[in-house]
Amino acid sequence: MPMPKTPEEVAHAFVAAINAEDPNALHDLMTEDHTFTDALGNSFSGADKMRFGWQHFFRAYPGYRINIQHTFAAANRVALFGDANGGWRVDDIVLPQRWTVSAAWLAEVENEQIRHWTIFCDTSWANPPSSTS
């Protein structure tokens, strides 16, 4: 019988699925009523909706990766600190420029799945550089 996963292990598995750009693995790690809250405070609920959301995100920001430097866990909550980086896709062309942003994430774990995933970061990276840059 496999050992139950700690909330910290579940949160790190979620990051690994993000870094693998694997929406199906992410879906498997989400509760059905999973909620994602972005850095602007917008929330989106439902594992099926978020699988589609992650597919769109990975297409728009190719090579998106999360690098975790510090993790703190208390009960079912896990705080992760580090940075994220990636590229941009504009008009179906992947731009050569890359972005990096310091970020923090909060995972709320329930029954070895992510119930709520929140990201905290500056969002200026989301806009691709102008073609005149």
Q: What is the pTM of this model?
A: 0.93
Q: Using one digit for the tens of pLDDT, what is the confidence trace for 53-98?
A: 999 999 999 999 999 999 999 999 999 999 999 999 999 999 999 9
* Long-range contacts of 25-28, Cβ-Cβ distance < 8 Å, separation of 24 or more: 26/50, 26/51, 26/54, 27/51
pLDDT at 87: 96
Which residue would you say has higher pLDDT here, 2 or 57?
57
Average pLDDT for residues 38-60, to the nearest whole number? 97
What's 7-123's CATH class? alpha beta
- 10 Å Cβ neighbour count for 113? 17
Q: Assign 3-state DSSP to the chain and report helix, strand, coil percentages, each to 5.
A: 25, 40, 30
pLDDT at 8: 97
Contact 108, 33 (CB under 8 A): no
Q: Using one digit for the tens of pLDDT, what is the confidence trace for 91-126?
A: 999 999 999 999 999 999 999 999 999 999 999 888
Please state the domain extents for the chain.
Answer: 7-123
* Long-range contacts of 108-111, Cβ-Cβ distance < 8 Å, separation of 24 or more: 108/76, 108/77, 109/7, 109/10, 109/11, 109/76, 109/77, 109/78, 110/31, 110/76, 111/31
